[in-house]
């Protein structure tokens, strides 16, 4: 117990009873450090991957231009990014931008639990793609590690269906980056799950804006081509 308390005090010195009164300074320093780290990771990401981001946007714009749809997937916090991505495209908040078909594969809890129970969680996304996706559609995965079996299975199914494949990853990109299953990959250069997800959020907001910019000359024609 003494060793555990010593460890806690080294990580969170303001918890030490003898350090009473230092809490605000310690916590404010912690805030500043986290903000600095978040900014640094994003700057490094966009400095080195700006061209890759633009190519990913061109891919998605091409999918919509050809009458295709986007599908998104992720686990845990990244499932929230998959949902956010789909909402951005379905419900653009900027006036004059068309709604574009995007489906979040994480949203149907009955389907996810049924597949997880009957076949195993690694089949949760692949099964839905088998039912709904078609050649020319796009699939984007969100993963902080790149190692999730169900995301990899989804990408393999996407390849079988001749879909376009994209992923936002973290760390070294994991198994997904090494798999050869991705047409486009964007990797946040950190092992911090929080910093990865913060970078992903900014990335797909910019990606959304780039796609609409690339499709600007076709506004009014896209909705009729999607079904």
Output the six-digit token pair for 3.
């060793």
Domain assignment present for residue 6? The answer is: no
The answer to whether the CB of 143 falls within 8 A of the CB of 116 is no
Over the chain (227 residues), what is each successive 10-residue block's mean pLDDT? 63 58 80 96 97 98 98 98 98 90 97 97 98 98 98 98 98 98 97 97 97 87 56
Q: Which CATH number covers residue 208?
A: 3.40.50.10490
Q: What is the pLDDT of residue 8?
A: 56
Please write down the HEC assignment for all residues of the chain: CHHHHHHHHHHCHHHCHHHCCCHHHHHHHHHHHHHHHHHHHHHHHHHHHHHHHHHHHHHHHHHHHCCCCEEEEECCHHHHHHHHHHHHHHCCCCCCCCCCCEEECCCCHHHHHHHHHHCCHHHHHHHHHHHHCCCCCEEEEECCCCCCHHHHHHHHHHHHCCCEEEEEEECCCHHHHHCCCCCEEEEECCCCHHHHHHHHHHHHHHHHHHHHHHCHHHCCCHHHHCC
pTM of the model: 0.87
Q: What is the pLDDT of residue 94?
A: 86
Domain assignment present for residue 222? The answer is: no
Domain assignment present for residue 104? The answer is: yes
The answer to whether the CB of 205 falls within 8 A of the CB of 88 is yes
Q: What is the pLDDT of residue 6?
A: 64
Domain assignment present for residue 8? The answer is: no
In total, how many domains does the chain have?
Answer: 1
Domain assignment present for residue 145? The answer is: yes
Domain assignment present for residue 34? The answer is: yes
Domain assignment present for residue 178? The answer is: yes
Q: What is the pLDDT of residue 224?
A: 45
Domain assignment present for residue 14? The answer is: no
Domain that holds residue 213: 21-217
């Amino acid at each position: 117990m003494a060793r555990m308390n010593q460890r806690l005090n080294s990580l969170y010195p303001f918890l030490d009873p003898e350090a009473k009164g230092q809490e605000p300074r310690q916590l404010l320093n912690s805030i500043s450090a986290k903000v600095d780290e978040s900014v640094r990771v994003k700057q490094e990401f966009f400095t080195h991957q700006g061209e890759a981001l633009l190519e990913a946007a061109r891919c998605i714009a091409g999918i919509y231009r050809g009458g295709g749809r986007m599908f998104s997937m992720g686990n845990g916090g990244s499932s929230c990014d998959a949902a956010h991505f789909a909402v951005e495209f379905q419900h653009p908040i900027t006036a004059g931008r068309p709604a574009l078909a995007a489906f979040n594969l994480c949203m149907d809890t009955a389907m996810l639990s049924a597949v997880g129970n009957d076949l195993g969680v690694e089949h949760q996304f692949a099964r839905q793609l088998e039912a709904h996706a078609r050649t020319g559609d796009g699939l984007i995965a969100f993963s902080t590690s790149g190692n999730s079996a169900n995301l990899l299975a989804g990408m393999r199914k996407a390849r079988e269906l001749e879909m376009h494949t994209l992923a936002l990853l973290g760390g070294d990109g994991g198994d997904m980056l090494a798999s050869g299953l991705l047409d486009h990959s964007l990797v946040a250069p950190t092992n911090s799950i929080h910093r990865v997800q913060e970078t992903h959020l900014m990335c797909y907001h910019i990606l959304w804006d780039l796609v609409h910019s690339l499709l600007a000359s076709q506004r009014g024609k896209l909705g009729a081509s999607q079904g």
